[in-house]
Every structure is written in C-alpha cells, then in structure tokens.
C-alpha cells in the first residue's frame, strides 16, 4: 500500500498539507516500510485572495499522488480535505515518526 507523507525532514510527519512542495512516497508491505520517491506538487497555501480554494492545484496534486491510498500530514484545512476525499485520496492528520505511524495506518485501512 502506498502513502504520501508530508515531512520537512524525512523522519517525522510534521508538515501542513498546504505548505508541502513535495510528498514523500512510501510503500508498506508485510510490516516493512520502504521509501520510494519524492513527488513534487504545487504548494496549496499561497494566500491568493483571487483563488482561495485552489481546486485546480488539488487536482494536480491528486494526479501526482496517483496510486497512493492516503495522504498523511500534520494538518489540513477543510476545503482541501473534502476535495481530496472527493478525488479518492484519504487524508490522515497525525504527527510523529513516519515508520511506526504508517505501520499503524496500514492495519486499519
């Protein structure tokens, strides 16, 4: 199962969804967590009053996250959460070490 992780340091889930410029993609299989790649995305939060919801950015992000079951981040706003769910990507809000959190998530999905 593939997960997209929002992390500033590659060790912890510690980044807000809207501040991400790249997601770290991990595969979890048989209790093993493997880093696969980084996937760049356009930063969602740009504080642009003319495009407050930035749905086009979320569609591009969903394309970049193709194959991922879920996005794991430290925080996400309601509008992007709803749009990701509509696009078939499950958002999870949690903070902490990447590996144990992904192992826990794969057990409940």
**What is the number of domains present in the chain?**
1
- What averages of pLDDT result for each successive group of 10 residues across the chain (109 residues)? 97 95 96 96 71 66 90 92 86 97 94
Give the burial class of 88: count Cβ atoms within 10 A of its Cβ; 0-12 exposed, 13-18 middle, 19 or more buried.
exposed
Q: Which two tokens stand for residue 12?
A: 């912890």
Could you list the residue range(s) of the whole structural domain that residue 86 is in? 2-108
Angstrom distance (rounded) from CA 70 to CA 91 = 6
CATH of the domain at 57: 3.30.420.130
Angstrom distance (rounded) from CA 54 to CA 96 = 28
Contact yes or no for 36/27 (Cβ under 8 A): yes
| Confidence at residue 29, expressed as pLDDT on a 0 to 100 scale | 95
| Confidence at residue 54, expressed as pLDDT on a 0 to 100 scale | 58
Helices (H), the chain: 55-64, 78-86, 98-108
């Amino acid at each position: 199962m593939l997960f997209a992780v929002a992390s500033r340091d590659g060790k912890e889930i510690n980044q807000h969804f809207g501040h991400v410029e790249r997601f770290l993609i991990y595969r979890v299989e048989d209790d093993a967590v493997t880093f696969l790649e980084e996937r760049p995305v356009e930063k969602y939060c740009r504080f642009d009053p003319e495009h407050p919801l930035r749905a086009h950015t979320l569609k591009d992000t969903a394309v970049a996250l193709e194959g991922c079951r879920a996005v794991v981040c430290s925080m996400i706003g309601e509008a992007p959460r709803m749009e990701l769910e509509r696009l078939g990507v499950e958002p999870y809000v949690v903070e902490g070490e990447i590996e144990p959190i992904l192992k826990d998530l794969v057990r409940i999905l």
